[in-house]
């Protein structure tokens, strides 16, 4: 398992070994020993698994969970290809406002760990792409929020040549600056305390 720390504090990329043969391929996108070593001994308490299937051009996100309760994610793409978008929206974070864009696809089986408090979204680059998630908490719409993935101040690298397809919720979502003014963003220290509860 190859590991790379991202520019967002606490976010990590994992690339597993892939074993192809005449039948197809085999891989293990999540491996607890590699994960725990990369994130300083944190465990990943899986409370829910989810996946989405999307058309080319779909943009889902940017989504985040209020903290508390907070919700960490482990994300990979078992089918198709997507550009995964991560934005640090934790007020007080040393990397507040920073973003990363990582291509996920079925060939590399690259995965991302998203710590509590960051915003997440993705752009679908191929038809019938599936994104799969491990979640550290159950999905609760009462504590879920969204930011605009098209916020010009963020300048996320939405690829040219796509006809973006967004839900109504994502289309009217506030910008990062608007959410900051409204005081609805997660606090960095609170997110760190919540994550510490995932230690053995």
Reported as a single tens digit per residue, the pLDDT across 139-182 is: 999 999 999 999 999 999 999 989 999 999 999 999 999 999 99
CATH code for position 137: 2.60.120.10
Is 112 part of a structural domain of the chain?
yes
- How many domains does the structure of the chain reveal? 1
Residue 128 inside a domain? The answer is yes
Boundaries of domain holding 147: 2-17+29-196
63 is catalytic: yes
Point out the catalytic residue in the list 63, 74, 113, 120. 63
Is 136 within a domain?
A: yes
**Residue 51 annotated among the catalytic residues of the structure:** no
Residue 123 has pLDDT above 60, yes or no: yes
Write the burial class of residue 78 (CB in 10 Å: 0-12 exposed, 13-18 middle, 19+ buried).
middle
| pLDDT band at 197; cut points 50, 70, 90 | confident
- Indicate which residue of 64, 76, 133, 188 is catalytic: 133
């Amino acid at each position: 398992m190859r590991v790379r720390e991202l520019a967002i504090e606490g976010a990590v990329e994992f690339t597993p070994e892939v074993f192809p043969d005449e039948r197809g391929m085999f891989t293990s996108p999540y491996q607890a020993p590699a994960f725990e070593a990369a994130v300083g001994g944190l465990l990943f308490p899986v409370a829910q698994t989810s996946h989405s299937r999307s058309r080319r051009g779909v943009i889902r996100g940017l989504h985040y969970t209020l903290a508390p309760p907070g919700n960490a994610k482990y994300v990979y793409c078992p089918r198709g290809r997507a550009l995964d978008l991560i934005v640090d929206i934790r007020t007080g974070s040393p990397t507040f406002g920073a973003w990363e864009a990582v291509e996920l696809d079925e060939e590399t089986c690259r995965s991302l760990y998203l710590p509590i408090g960051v915003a997440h979204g993705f752009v679908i680059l191929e038809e019938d792409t599936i994104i799969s998630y491990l979640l550290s908490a159950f999905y609760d719409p009462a504590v879920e929020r969204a930011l605009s993935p098209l916020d010009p101040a963020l300048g996320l690298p939405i690829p040219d040549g796509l006809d973006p397809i967004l839900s109504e919720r994502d289309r009217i979502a506030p910008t990062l600056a608007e959410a900051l003014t409204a005081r609805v963003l997660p606090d960095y220290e609170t997110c760190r305390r919540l994550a510490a509860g995932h230690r053995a």
